[in-house]
Amino acid sequence: MATPAAAQEFDGHLKARQGMFRIMAINLGIIGDMAKGDTEYDAEQATMAADNLHAVSMINPLILFPEGSDAEAIDGTRALPAIWENTDDVGSKWADLGEAVSGLQEVAGDGREALGPALGPVGNACKACHDEYRASE
């Protein structure tokens, strides 16, 4: 574990990147619940949520992952050191997420039935990164 000073140095980065993922989970949840029929479909809400996902996907995540802010160096993160050994792959997986989210954004206003098929690639993109670069809880 790194010194408390190092952990403190990255406190803002951890908050920012975890907040970024939380924003995505909340917006994905809104669309996911509609797709499942747990909440009533609302074209405006679905579009707003998809637009938010797209906005977050436009952030370059590497800025929020400075060297030394991995789970082996500091507490409070599940970011595996493999991220820093594979930044090209991380960037490519993030781009895949962006493409999947654009697909969702295109159909979010088209009715409940359109959501499920467009959510699949988004979920796969989330999972692809988590499988390789996030520690299990």
Residues that bind ligand ASC (CB under 6 A): 25, 28-29, 123, 126-127, 130
CA pair distance 47, 53, nearest whole angstrom: 10
* Count of C-beta atoms within a 10 Å radius of residue 79: 23
Name the residue type at position 64: L
From first CA to last CA, the distance across the chain in angstroms is 18
Q: Smallest gap, in angstroms, from Cβ of residue 30 to ligand ASC? A: 10
Q: CB-wise, 28 or 79, nearer to ligand ASC? A: 28
- Reported as half-sphere exposure (CB side, CA atoms, 13 A), residue 44 has a value of 0
Q: Smallest gap, in angstroms, from Cβ of residue 132 to ligand ASC? A: 13
Q: Smallest gap, in angstroms, from Cβ of residue 109 to ligand ASC? A: 21
Q: CB-wise, 68 or 120, nearer to ligand ASC? A: 120
Q: CB-wise, 54 or 130, nearer to ligand ASC? A: 130
Q: Smallest gap, in angstroms, from Cβ of residue 25 to ligand ASC? A: 4
The DSSP letter of residue 59 is S
Instruction: Find the Cα–Cα–Cα–Cα dihedral 28, 23, 131, 46, rounded to 10°.
Output: 10
Q: CB-wise, 7 or 126, nearer to ligand ASC? A: 126
17 contacts: CB under 8 Å, gap ≥ 6: 61, 64, 65, 79
